[in-house]
């Protein structure tokens, strides 16, 4: 009898041991990832959670702390199922209709990837397909298709040193982008891969400055020139000291275009027109990619070049550079300063038009859109009526001019110049091409009007990496005119309006809220405006405005 009892006990423990070996172990990143994904799915898909019935940030913190005791996938599946079931259920409306919808951002592969139980999979899949969704956490108005996150609030007593608080920052932002950034499919790195990279770092972050760096890295992954995030502490840490001169990037060389009277000694080291070809032992392009790119979200390299002067800023009070001057090449250690007064500026003289509008030749007009008014644009087009062509300078951000006040003179009839992609309130991850919201409202994606007296000669549009956001939108409208050629370099690649999202630590992050496409279907987000003729600026010719010279050449060719 004792032997039989012993055999039974041994068999029992053998079964337990075998079962234990079959349990699927989890590391810390895996279990927090699965919980964060389920938490985000419920936030934007669950009928009552999406109605704001619960303090969803507090729910995250409370349950994230419970995850500490979970050791394997089987326990996590049980935890996640109980988590979902702990919230009151409501009517689920299933829809598998994707006709006419933009599906490139539709990504729920993670549901099956983590081997949920059949019951858990069913719950998650129902939420994925649910269209009975409320708009507490994200709303899209009838008159605007821009998503707003006005009920995203800071977490009370947020403390970056608390792991669950840091993870809340990560998953709050990640899920908002996952479900409502229509340009997500354009990112260089898959958004889920970005999450996989960031979770371990957010878990182990041990200093406030490192936390800020991780936030900057998180936002930078959007590859969106609108998504700029560097708080003051991070700015001070990375770029606290700056030189008392300003440069302009020409190809891969920084040309000194302005100096300030900080001290006499520095003037012996740096002069107007000097060409900086290296910073330390790195080329300028390498410095931009290594020192700026990790922290600054940019749709393209052209936008990063716009901030190239920042590579001369840094953490120390001196900077080693290699300078080309005349026919010599030499290295210098230049001083950098925390603060200085920009007194006695000396600026490199450049031959470029200065007026809002002018004749640059007898039969060629020039208009700078930066500050020109409706009245002035009318006078300009009247004066240019007999010219061979007009150069329109959009290397700036127009401040005083509405779009239709310009295209009034450029279009023979009203037409569509842009197609816009917007999110759908009750279909997270999906999007659709937007039409005019109401019949009573004029279609914002058309411009011009019937005008037999429109300007029918050559239009040359000048653009560069300062052409961004509304400037790019206006640029697309100008390009839609019958006789337009575009001259310049790649624009910033962030065409449409921004959406603002408040993180749990009360900081705000922006991203481009809509997608922009030309009428032929080609995209403008990240790519920037279409360019007909790229400008070839060099360090020897950039003192003369090569953009304007190319415009004159194209007008004379017609």
Residue that wins the pLDDT comparison between 130 and 536: 130
Which secondary structure element, helix H or strand E, spans residue 18, and what is its range?
helix 2-22
pLDDT of res. 339: 82
Buried b (16+ CB within 10 A) or exposed e, 378-413: eebbeebeebbbbbbbbbbebeebebbbbbbbbbbe
* Tens-place pLDDT, residues 260-292: 865 545 545 788 999 999 999 999 999 999 999
Tell me what the mean pLDDT of segment 25-42 comes to.
95
What's the 3-state SS for 347-405?
A: ECCCECCCCCEEEEECCEEEEECCCCCHHHHHHHHHHCCCCCEEEEECCCCCCCCCHHH
pLDDT above 50 for 465: yes
For 400-456, how does the pLDDT look when each residue is reduced to its tens digit (9 = 90+)? 999 999 999 999 999 999 999 999 989 999 999 987 654 446 788 999 999 999 999
Mean pLDDT of 452-467: 96
Structure tokens at 320: 């080693």
Mean of pLDDT values over 385-412:
95
pLDDT at 157: 94
Angle at CA of residue 180, ends 151 and 110, nearest 5°: 110
Q: 461 - beta bridge partners?
A: 392, 486
Domains of the chain by range and CATH?
28-180+188-221 (no CATH), 236-347 (2.30.42.10), 357-557 (3.90.226.10)
The pLDDT tens digits of the residues spanning 329-339 come to 999 999 999 88
| CA–CA separation, 284 and 379 (whole Å) | 44
pLDDT at 24: 79
The Cα–Cα gap between 7 and 27 comes to: 36
Would you state the pLDDT for residue 341? 73
Does the pLDDT value for residue 527 go beyond 60?
A: yes
CA-based R_g, the chain, Å: 29
Residues 449 and 404: their CA atoms lie apart, in Å, by 9
- Is the model's pLDDT at 141 over the cut of 80? no
Instruction: At 330, list the tokens.
Output: 């030499």
Mean residue pLDDT of the chain comes to 91
Write out the two tokens for 309: 């002067």
Q: Is the pLDDT of residue 6 over 70?
A: no
pLDDT above 60: residue 532: yes
CA angle 255-258-262, nearest 5°?
125
């Amino acid at each position: 009898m004792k032997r039989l009892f012993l055999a039974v006990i041994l068999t029992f423990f053998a079964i337990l041991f075998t079962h234990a070996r079959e349990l699927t172990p989890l590391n810390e990143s895996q279990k927090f990832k699965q919980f964060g994904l389920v938490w985000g799915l419920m936030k934007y898909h669950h009928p009552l959670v999406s109605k704001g019935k619960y303090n969803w940030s507090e729910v995250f913190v409370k349950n994230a702390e419970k995850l500490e005791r979970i050791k394997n996938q089987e326990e996590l599946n049980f935890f996640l199922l109980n988590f979902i079931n702990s919230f009151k259920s409501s009517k689920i409306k299933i829809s598998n209709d994707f006709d006419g919808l933009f599906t490139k951002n539709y990504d729920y592969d993670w549901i099956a990837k983590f081997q949920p139980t059949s019951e858990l999979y069913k719950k998650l899949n129902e939420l994925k397909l649910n269209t009975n969704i409320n708009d507490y956490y994200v709303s899209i108005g009838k008159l605007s298709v821009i998503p707003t996150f006005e009920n995203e609030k800071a977490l009370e007593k947020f403390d970056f040193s608390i792991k669950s608080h840091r993870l809340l920052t990560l998953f709050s932002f990640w899920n908002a982008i996952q479900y409502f950034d229509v340009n997500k499919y354009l990112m260089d790195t898959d958004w889920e891969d970005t999450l996989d990279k960031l979770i371990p770092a957010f878990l182990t972050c041990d200093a406030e400055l490192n936390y800020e760096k991780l936030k900057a890295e998180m936002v930078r992954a959007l590859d969106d020139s609108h998504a700029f995030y560097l708080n003051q502490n991070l700015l001070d840490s990375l770029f606290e000291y700056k030189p008392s001169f300003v440069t302009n990037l020409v190809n891969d060389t920084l040309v000194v275009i302005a100096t300030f009277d900080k001290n006499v000694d520095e003037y012996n080291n740096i002069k107007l027109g000097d060409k900086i070809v290296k910073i330390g032992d790195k080329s300028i392009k390498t410095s931009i990619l290594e020192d700026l790119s990790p922290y600054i979200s940019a749709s393209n390299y052209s936008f990063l070049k716009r901030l190239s002067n920042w590579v001369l800023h840094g953490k120390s009070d001196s900077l080693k550079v290699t300078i080309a001057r005349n026919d010599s090449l030499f290295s210098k250690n230049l001083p950098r300063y925390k603060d200085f007064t920009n007194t006695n500026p000396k600026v490199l003289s450049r031959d470029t038009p200065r007026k809002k509008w002018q004749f640059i030749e007898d039969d060629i007009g020039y208009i700078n859109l930066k500050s020109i008014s409706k009245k002035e644009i009318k006078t300009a087009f009247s004066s240019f009526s007999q010219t061979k062509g007009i150069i329109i300078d959009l290397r700036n951000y127009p401040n005083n001019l509405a779009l239709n006040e310009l295209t009034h003179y450029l279009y023979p009839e009203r037409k569509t110049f842009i197609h816009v992609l917007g999110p759908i309130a009750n279909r997270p991850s999906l999007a659709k091409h937007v039409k005019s919201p109401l019949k009573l409202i004029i279609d914002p994606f058309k411009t011009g009007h019937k005008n037999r007296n429109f300007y029918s000669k050559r239009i040359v549009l000048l653009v560069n990496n300062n052409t961004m956001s509304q400037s790019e939108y206006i640029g697309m409208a100008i390009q839609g005119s019958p006789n337009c050629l575009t001259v310049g370099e790649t624009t910033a690649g962030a065409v449409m309006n921004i959406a603002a999202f408040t993180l749990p630590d009360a900081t705000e992050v922006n991203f481009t809220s809509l997608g922009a496409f030309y009428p032929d279907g080609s995209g403008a987000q990240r790519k920037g405006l279409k360019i007909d003729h790229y400008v070839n600026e060099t360090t020897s010719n950039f003192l003369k405005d090569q953009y304007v010279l190319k415009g004159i050449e194209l007008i004379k060719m017609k």
